[in-house]
Structure 1
Amino acid sequence: MRTPAETMTAYFEGWRRRDAESLRDVLADDVVFDGPMGHVEGVDDNVASLHGLLGIVTDVQVKHVFVDGPDVCTVYDLHTTATGAPVLTVNWAHVVDGRARTIRAIFDPRPLLAT
């Protein structure tokens, strides 16, 4: 079984490959995502949402990862086709049995909303 850090590393590797379907392997069936631009429940709806997001993602540059037991906080620059500059993002995930159960993203959505 993956550690929480390994789970979230696999999550962001899927982002870099723009492979939303591969994320099913690291998301719990009842995963809940919360962020400035929405709330999504369940693995199917999360993967569908990520299909849309990954269509504009050009890169994810992880700056730092903090791990505290089952909680993983990843600080990264999100590069997209919708913004000129990267969007500094913090992702806080709670991982149970090698799968992310909750994910909270924290970022300033204004650059994405301006498009």
Structure 2
Amino acid sequence: MTATTATPAQVAAAYFETWRARDFAAFRALLADDATFSGPLGRAADADECVAGIKGMSQIVTDIVVDRIVADGADVITWFQLHTSLADPIPVANWSRVENGLITRIRVAFDARPLTSGPVSA
């Protein structure tokens, strides 16, 4: 699979595979230089900021479980469970735009309160 032959759904799947593997060089290769990110924990104005954000988030991420990837043309919605060291798994919706085999825009929606209110006690 190359960037020019990959479907938007395949690019989105690779995004999560490279994030889970903490392969940040491969993760970066999936992003257009001007890719943007917007979510409840931050924003990124370009691909390098996107990678920095994922690297930071990866410090607390213990797993990423993709439940469903749905593509409609260049738009891909990925529903996944974000497992972290701070909270029970959190359901997340990730909306990515894929153009010419690269992700150009990422929008994420989830309830961030479990991650911002401190450790969960057992």
Measured against the shorter chain, the TM-score band is: over 0.9
TM-score by length of 2: 0.90
Runs of 4+ in 1 over 3 A off after TM superposition: none
Corresponding position of 1:63: 67
For structure 1, list consecutive stretches of 5 or more residues without a partner in the other structure: none
Q: Aligned to 2:111, what secondary structure does the other structure show?
A: coil
1:35-54 alignment to 2 at 5 Å? Answer: 35-54=39-58
**Contact residue 13 and residue 69 of structure 2 kept, 8 A:** no
TM (normalized to structure 1)?
0.95
Residue of structure 1 equivalent to 2:29: 25
1:90 match: 93
Task: Give 1 or 2 for the bigger CA radius of gyration.
Answer: 2
Flag structure 2 segments of 5+ consecutive residues without an equivalent. none
The residue type paired with residue 97 of structure 1 is: N
Contact 1:20 1:54 in 2 (8 A): no
Report Cα offsets for 1:53-75 as digits up to 9, x if no partner: 11111111111111100000000
Percent identical among aligned pairs is: 43
Question: Secondary structure, in 3 states, of the residue corresponding to 1:76?
Answer: strand
**Contact between 2:68 and 2:78, CA under 8 Å: does it hold in 1?**
yes
- Partner-residue secondary structure (3-state), 2:9: helix
